[in-house]
Structure formats: structure tokens, C-alpha cells
């Protein structure tokens, strides 16, 4: 029982550190927030943060994984009419979640080549890839996309649109309507991959 209680306390402390870090990133900026500020607000020693998160980037990675997991769960439960709608809805949900927390989105984009952050988000990235590829394969089998379409290549194009648009959104001022741009670009790719109508 004591071990269970200690584990629950540890999990609660980790949750509190995560939520405090995200709140400070959103209100005062990722770069401006120090680990000391996070731990002071929680009321623990600085070293306690590193027991749960090796770096601030790991908090950003967890944030990205969390929103991606939630969006994927919604996408799997959604009754989409076709593959294009399923992919558009997933990507729009992800972009809305991300743009609701611009400081975290910017931090993720600016640290996207960090090996620690890349490793932290790899599982969810694989899940996105699987979901999109399954949608494309189903669309090809149903005649919504050309029969000789390489669904892996097409999936990589769709995901590149998401990641490339994400980086552009971070760099562009004033910022464009990210969900609307994603829908427009995904629509273009799906139209280009449709069978010719005769």
C-alpha cells in the first residue's frame, strides 16, 4: 500500500510539474521560462524537475504527444464519409490544438531537430503515419484514388504538407489560418490523385 501511495504521489508531482511548465510557457514564453521558475511555482527543488523531465524539450514533446493522441482518438471514433475528410479532420484538429498554444508550437518547431524531442514524439508520429496510410489504402480500394497509387508515398506527401505548413505558420507574420490552409492543401492532393472521370 505504501508503495502504491508513493507511486501516486510521484505521478501527481509529475502532472503538476508538466501543467505548471505548460502554463508558464504559454503565458511568458518558452525561452523566457526557466526550470527554476517552474519548480519554485510548484514548491519543489530544481533537481526534482529533472527526475521527471530530462529537459524542457521533454515537456514540449509530451505536450505534442498528448494533443496528437487526443486528436487520433477522436479521428478513430469519427464517422468520416471518406479518406479525404478523415485526414483533413485529423490534421485540422491537430492544427487547432497547436495554434491554441502558439508558444509551445513555436518551441516544438524551433527544436524539431533536437534528438531528445524527436525521440519523445516518434511513437505518435508513427501512429499518424499509420492512420493516414490506412485511410489512403481504403480510398484506393474503394476507387476514390487511382488504382496504382503508392499509398506510402502519398501518405508521406500528406504528412509533409502538415509539417511544412506548421513550420511556415511559425515563421509567417501575421499568421495565416492554419486549419483552413491545411484543408485547402489536402483537398488539392486528393483531387490530383483521383481517377480521371470520363
Q: What is the mean pLDDT of residues 132-152?
A: 93
Beta strands in the chain (DSSP E): none
Check residue 8 and give its pLDDT: 86
Tell me the average pLDDT across 133-150: 93
Global confidence as pTM: 0.84
Confidence check: pLDDT of 123 > 80: no
CATH 1.10.357.10 domain range(s) in the chain: 55-192
Residue 115 confidence (pLDDT) above 90: no
Spell out the long-range contacts of 72-75 with Cβ–Cβ below 8 A and sequence spacing 24 or more: 72/124, 72/127, 72/128, 72/131, 75/131
Residues 6+ apart with CB under 8 A from 186: 84, 87, 88, 91, 158, 161
**CA proximity to 94, closest of 125, 70, 124, 129:** 70
- pLDDT at residue 120, rounded to an integer: 62
Confidence of residue 198 (pLDDT cuts 50, 70, 90): low
Which fold, 1-53?
Arc Repressor Mutant, subunit A (1.10.10)
State the average pLDDT for the chain: 89
Average pLDDT over residues 109-124: 71
pLDDT beyond 70 at 116: no
Q: List every span in the chain annotated with CATH 1.10.10.60.
A: 1-53
Confidence of residue 156 (pLDDT cuts 50, 70, 90): very high
* Contacts within 8 Å (CB) and 24+ apart, 165-169: 165/95, 166/95, 166/98, 166/105, 166/109, 167/109, 167/112, 169/95, 169/99, 169/105
Q: What is the CATH number of domain 55-192?
A: 1.10.357.10
pLDDT surpasses 70 at 154: yes
If one compares 34 and 175, the residue with the highest pLDDT of the two is: 34
pLDDT of 5 > 90? The answer is no
Amino acid at each position: 500500500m505504501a508503495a502504491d501511495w508513493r507511486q501516486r504521489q510521484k505521478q501527481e508531482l509529475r502532472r503538476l510539474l508538466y501543467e505548471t511548465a505548460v502554463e508558464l510557457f504559454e503565458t511568458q514564453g518558452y525561452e523566457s521560462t526557466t526550470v527554476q521558475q517552474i519548480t519554485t511555482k510548484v514548491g519543489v527543488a530544481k533537481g526534482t524537475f529533472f527526475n521527471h523531465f530530462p529537459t524542457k524539450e521533454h515537456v514540449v514533446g509530451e505536450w505534442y504527444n498528448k494533443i496528437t493522441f487526443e486528436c487520433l482518438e477522436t479521428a478513430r471514433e469519427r464517422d468520416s464519409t471518406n479518406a479525404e475528410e478523415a485526414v483533413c479532420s485529423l490534421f485540422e484538429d491537430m492544427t487547432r490544438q497547436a495554434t491554441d498554444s502558439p508558444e509551445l508550437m513555436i518551441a516544438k518547431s524551433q527544436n524539431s531537430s533536437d534528438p531528445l524531442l524527436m525521440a519523445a514524439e516518434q511513437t505518435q508520429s508513427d501512429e499518424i503515419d499509420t492512420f493516414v496510410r490506412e485511410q489512403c489504402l481504403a480510398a484506393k480500394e474503394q476507387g476514390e484514388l487511382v488504382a496504382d497509387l503508392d499509398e506510402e508515398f502519398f501518405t508521406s506527401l500528406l504528412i509533409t504538407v502538415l509539417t511544412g505548413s506548421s513550420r511556415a505558420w511559425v515563421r509567417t507574420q501575421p499568421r495565416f489560418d492554419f486549419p483552413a490552409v491545411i484543408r485547402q492543401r489536402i483537398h488539392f492532393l486528393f483531387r490530383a490523385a483521383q481517377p480521371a472521370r470520363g
